[in-house]
Amino acid sequence: MKLKSCLTTVLLAFISLQCATPEPDFTREVITLKKGWKFNKGQHPNATKIAFDDSKWEDVTVPHDWAIYGPFDKEIDKQIVAITQNGENIATEKTGRTGALPYIGEGWYRNEFTIENFDDNKKVLLLFEGAMSEPEVFLNGEKVGEWKYGYSYFYFDVSAYINGKAKNTLAVKLTNVGKSSRWYPGAGLYRNVSVIVKNKESFEQWSTFITTPSITLDKAEVNIKTKASEKNLKLVTEIYDVDGNKVTSNETKAHTNNAFEQHIEVSKPQLWSPESPYLYTAILKLYHGNVLKDEITQRFGIRSIDYSPDTGFSLNGKTRKFKGVCLHHDLGPIGTAVNTSALRRQLKILKDMGCDAIRSAHNMPSLEQLELCDEMGFMFLAESFDEWKKPKVENGYNRFFDAYAEKDIVNLVRATRNHPSIVMWSSGNEVPDQWGSEGVKRAKWLQDIFHREDPTRPVTVGMDQVKAVMESGFGAVMDVPGLNYRVHLYEEAYQHFPQGFLLGSETASTVSSRGIYKFPVEIASMKTYPDFQSSSYDLEYCSWSNLPDDDFVLQDDKPWVIGEFVWTGFDYLGEPTPYDEAWPSRSSYFGINDLAGLPKDRYYLYRSRWNTEDETLHILPHWNWEGREGETTPVFVYTSYNSAELFLNGKSLGIQKKSKKTKQNRYRLMWMDVEYEPGTLKVVALDEKGNPVAEKEVKTAGKPYKLVLESDVKTIKANGEDLAFVTVSVVDKNGIPCPTATNQLNFKVEGNGTFRAACNGDATSLEPFHLPTMQLFSGKLVVLVQSTEEAGDITLIVTGDHLEKGEVLIKSIL
């Protein structure tokens, strides 16, 4: 399909499928099965039976990740393999590739539910938003279905298996095999499970599609397509603004093959964008005669997208470049179990950095993540697969591709296509199928499925074999040619491909450890050290990748490069390159933020370019270097200003200005010849006339003395799920942060909350996340406090030997 000059699609945000205001007639009920689950790992062939005794099984809530509790073990999923994506030719032992956590094995979940409103006129769906992996589902002793892909959303019509108004017993078997992933995949029912009860006369699941084919300043045409299960029905749609005021409505009885279509005009539309994520609400009501049979509430946004050789990418008629990051699906210390407050915190951190786009890598995103991106203003590249027919790992998705690829794409698109945040689909990432004619056919086949289900958005693939895709025609097939790294081939690819633009679908893969600095300071590839850390001078990268500055030049100088998605926004479990052959490394070093969500220095390098609203002035390294007195200790400054003057203990070390002398000089201010002496290091930013406009200091700290606690929120909801992320730092007697402190700390939560987890961001730490003790890393760590279902005060108390304790109060509210 040729991209039309303007994909003016307005896409709704999130199909909530919830009950509307109660009316005399039953419409639908959604039962989210969070509580009451029993879990056991191991083979249990009789667990499908209703009378099976699960009283000794573990009580868990869903979403649940059984593997995150550890322990870390180098023997788990130990692989003797050559990672071809990394350019390896010789197989070596990889011990932390999938996080060294016990995800492999068989796990069983059981629960019970009742349906008070069930009768012969009801239809019951069982919806899974993610089950890792190969789920088999049993209801009342009967197998109702199975799926294969652990990242897919899927549902079954279980009406024929429901046990009337009595208890229904649900059992789910999950099977995770080794050598099935390239990163930590998690394990278990890690996303929501719901029972949807509705009338037979009802909307078909995921059938509603809202677009806006025409937008002007005065009006927008809202097109609504949906399907119903029965005939002789009437559709009434009401549209509300963000304040709950009804702006328009429409009614129609006309439908073909149970499919309705409406064209509704919205006057003076408010457009959705990252800067102004305005959301409308559509309430769709289905009537039989005058009887209301079904009702769904769906938020949507009005916006247009366009990809063209002349303008690149534009949103609402304005050209812009993606300032994006890639994100794996784990949430650090809580694993893959989806949690809205944890996702919200990630997005708040990225928003402050100036990030405006997310790529779900390399899997289907959670519905919660998409809902938050709609609300908070992030464009989204929704990805499907890391593997097609040809394997990357022995037991990967290649086993299921032929039977499931189309079904998985259909479910991805239909479940999420109404989110205004989604502006592009991806059918794959670095697939070995990039070579040869068969791969071209698969790329075209998958892209056609996306187009059939959603003709309004383009499709890309993250391509790393750039020479191969130029030769085979693979790259020419894609709506949007996405290049993973290979910055030296951008110009050649642009000249070769017919689309007229390129996307940096995966960029940088620069590695660093928060607060760790190595000497001498030099650009290096695959550099390793005895402590298994990487330098936070942000000059170290991988064999296949590059430094951030290389991508910055392309984004700034090439109008046909339409943006980038940096690998990665946050560290994730698994893939500890360049230490994937070293134990105990068990998580990545790529993140702009570490596994605890604490910013690394690189965060401020990106912020200085991406956040155009706020000042950035950041100085590195820290200034505690006992034993380095008189030795060269370079100082870098990441700033939104073009020049600055550096002072050490009041003495000027000169002014540096950004220039095009080298790529690094263009984006960083660097004083390479500073000799360390303890004291105060101060940078003063200068405006274009040389006048001081801002300053920042780092000081040499004394011995650790006191703990300081800072929560990311002051209040959390008393729902048993909400989290507060408390950053714990140590300071000396003068309140100066101690950047090298490694004290062992202990955590205690009092009041109406519980301790959930802790994380220090150290990729080599083998301390379990869920125990109330952990060692500081580079002077910091993060404690997660979770609400109960009772409102009230929550107090986190943190102690450590020879340290003044720290406390923080968090309010839990209804």
d(CA 410, CA 523): 45
Hey, what amino acid is at 571?
D
Spot the catalytic one: 134, 201, 383, 506: 506
Residue 495's φ and ψ, nearest 5 degrees, are -70, -30
Count of H helices and E strands in the chain?
Answer: 10, 50
Candidates 132, 295, 273, 329; CA nearest to 201 is 295
The full DSSP string for 658-674 is --SSSHHHHH-EEETTP
The full DSSP string for 746-769 is EEEEEESEEEEEEE---TT--S-T
d(CA 510, CA 786): 33
d(CA 76, CA 178): 8
> Buried b vs exposed e over 16-51: b needs ≥16 C-beta within 10 Å?
ebeeeeeeeebbbbeeebbeebbbbbeebeebbeee
Residue with tokens 């549209």: 239
Candidates 534, 694, 727, 687; CA nearest to 618 is 694
Q: Which two tokens stand for residue 413?
A: 């698109």
Q: Taking phi first (over 0 means left), then psi (-120 to 50 degrees means alpha), and beta for anything else, what does residue 290 get? A: alpha
Q: How far is Cα of residue 743 from the mean position of the Cα atoms in its chain?
A: 31
Q: How many CA atoms lie within 13 A of 287 on its CB side?
A: 14
Spot the catalytic one: 368, 430, 540, 575: 430
CA distances from 156 to 129, 139, 197, 377, 733 (A): 12, 11, 12, 33, 62
Q: DSSP letter at 452?
A: H
Strands 193-199 and 168-176: unpaired
Residue with tokens 């439908």: 255
d(CA 627, CA 633): 12
Residue with tokens 């699941």: 205
Three-state secondary-structure class, residue 435: coil
**Contact (CB, 8 A) for 564 and 549:** no
**Contact (CB, 8 A) for 128 and 206:** no
Report the interhelical angle of 401-416 vs 437-453 (nearest 10°): 30
**Contact (CB, 8 A) for 76 and 66:** no
- H or E element that contains 122: strand 122-128
Q: Is 690 exposed, middle or buried (0-12, 13-18, 19+ CB in 10 A)?
A: exposed
d(CA 568, CA 421): 19
CA distances from 486 to 157, 473, 490, 500, 679 (A): 46, 18, 7, 18, 43
Q: Which two tokens stand for residue 419?
A: 């989110």
Three-state secondary-structure class, residue 802: coil
Sheet of strand 792-800, all strands in order from the earlier edge strand to the far edge: 715-717, 806-813, 792-800, 744-751, 773-775
Q: Is 758 exposed, middle or buried (0-12, 13-18, 19+ CB in 10 A)?
A: buried
Q: Which two tokens stand for residue 517?
A: 């600095």
Has 506 been annotated as catalytic? yes
Active-site annotation, residues: 430, 506
